[in-house]
Structure 1
Amino acid sequence: MNLTLKIWRQKNAKDKGRMVDYPISDVSPDMSFLEMLDVLNTQLINKGEEPVAFDHDCREGICGTCSLYINGEAHGPDRAITTCQLHMRKFKDGDTIYIEPWRAKAFPVIKDLVVDRSAFERIQHAGGFISVNTSGNTQDANALPISKHAADEAMDAAACIGCGACVATCKNSSAMLFVGAKVSQFALLPQGRVEATERVMNMVKQMDA
C-alpha cells in the first residue's frame, strides 16, 4: 500500500508544533501500525532526518504505552485494542492517515507523539494500593472466600491498562473511567474494602488537583 501520513511533530513541550506530511510506500497489510512507523523512521534516519518520537514498550496490548490518536480516534479505527495491536489491513491503498498524540491538558506533549502521563501515576500513588502488614502475620489471600461474580468484576476493572484513551477521547478530558476502574478493582474484594472510602477520596482528590 502507498499511504500519506500526516504526523504531529513537536520538538519539545514549548514548541508550537505542526502537522508534517510523510509519503510511505510498499506498506504490507500484515504490518502493525507501529511497525509501519518503524519503517518510516528507518527511512527518515537514512535520509539524515529526525525520526518521529512515539511511545511503545510491550507491543502486545498490555502496557498501555503506545497511545496514539489516529484519524480522530484513540488507538485508531479498530475496537477493543491498543495502537500496537492495530494492523495496516484496516487501511486502504492511497489513504491519508492523521497521527496525533493524546490531546488533553493533563497529558502535555513531551516530543512529537510522546506525552507525559505522570498524572495517572500521581492518582495511583494517592490510593491505588492496599496497605499490608508484611511482618509475617499477614493472612493468606486464598483463605478469604470470594465469589466468582465479585472476582470477575474485580478482574474486569483491573483490566484497565492506564493507556489514557478515556481521557483523550472525553470532551472534558475526564479521568473518571480510569479512577473508577482503579478504585473498583480493590473495593470489590475483601482485601481492599477496608480502605475503600479513604482510597476513593484520595484518588478523586488527586484527579481533581
Structure 2
Amino acid sequence: MNFLLRIWRQKNRQTPGKLVDYQVRDISPNTSFLEMLDILNEQLLDRGEEPIAFDSDCREGICGACSLTVNGEAHGPDHPGAVCELYMRKFRDGATITIEPFRVGAFPIVKDLVIDRSGLDRIVEAGGFITARAGSAPEANSILIPKHDADIAMEAAACIGCGACAAACPNGSAMLFTSAKVSHLAFLPQGHPERESRVLKMVSVMDAEGFGNCTN
C-alpha cells in the first residue's frame, strides 16, 4: 500500500510549524500506524534528514502516550482504541493521511507530534489518591465492596489518560478525564471520605491548567 502523509513538523513551541508531505510505499496492510511512522523515520535517517518526533510507549492501547490526530480525529478512525492499535488496512491504498498532534491549548507542542500532557498529571496529583495509614497491606476482604460498585469504578478507572477527550472536545475540556479520575475513587468506600474535597481540588487545577469548559 502507498500513502501520502501530511505530517506536522515543528522544531519547538516557539517556532511556527507546518505540514510537510512524505510518500511511503509498499506498506503492508497489517502494519500498525506507528510502525508505518517507524518505517518513514528509517527512510528519513537513511537520507540524512531529521526523523519525525512522536510519542509511544506500550503500543498496546494501555499507556495513552501515542497522542496523535489522524485526519482530524483523535487516535484516528478505528474506534474505540488508541492510535497504536490502528492498522493501515483501515485506509484505502493511495490515501492522503494528515497527522497532527492533539490540538489543545493546555497541551503545548514540544516538537513535531510530541505534546506536553503534564497538565493531566497535575490534575491527578491534586486529588487522584486516598489518604490512608501506612503499614502492612490490609486483609483483602476487610472492606466488602458490591460487585456492581466495583464494576462501575473499574469502568471509570479504565481511562488511560491519553487526553483524546480534550482533543476531541471543541472547547478543549478535560472534564471527561477529570470525572473519570474522580468517579473511580468515589464509587469505592476507600475514596468516600475525601470525595467532596477531591472534586474541588481537581476541578480547580483543571481550570488553572487552561482546559476549556464542558458545555454538555
Q: Taking structure 1 as the reference length, what is the TM-score of the superposition?
A: 0.98
Could you tell me which amino acid in structure 2 is paired with residue 180 of structure 1? S
| 1:76 and 2:95 are equivalent in the alignment | no
CA distance in 1, matches of 2:92, 2:3: 8
Mapping 1:162-177, distance limit 5 Å = 162-177=161-176
CA distance in 2, matches of 1:16, 1:127: 36
Local SS of the residue matching 2:141 = helix
CA distance in 1, matches of 2:141, 2:134: 16
Mapping 1:111-130, distance limit 5 Å = 111-130=111-130
CA distance in 2, matches of 1:128, 1:148: 22
Cα drift, residue 141 of structure 1: 4.5
| 1:144 and 2:143 are equivalent in the alignment | yes
Could you tell me which amino acid in structure 1 is paired with residue 200 of structure 2? M
CA distance in 1, matches of 2:79, 2:105: 25
Q: Deviations over 1:79-134 (max 9, x none)?
A: 01001000000011110000000001100000000000010011010000111111
Mapping 1:39-78, distance limit 5 Å = 39-78=39-78
Segments of 5+ residues of structure 2 without an aligned counterpart are: 209-216
Q: Deviations over 1:149-173 (max 9, x none)?
A: 1000000000000000000010100
Could you tell me which amino acid in structure 1 is paired with residue 185 of structure 2? F
RMSD of the TM alignment (CA)?
0.9
Match in the other structure for 1:182: 181
Q: Deviations over 1:31-54 (max 9, x none)?
A: 000000000000000000000000
Local SS of the residue matching 2:97 = strand
CA distance in 2, matches of 1:141, 1:74: 39
Percent identical pairs in the alignment equals: 62
CA distance in 2, matches of 1:141, 1:10: 50
CA distance in 2, matches of 1:152, 1:135: 27
Write out the 4+ residue segments of structure 1 that deviate beyond 4 Å after TM superposition: none
CA distance in 1, matches of 2:146, 2:197: 24
The total of aligned residue pairs comes to 208
CA distance in 2, matches of 1:37, 1:21: 13
Local SS of the residue matching 1:126 = helix
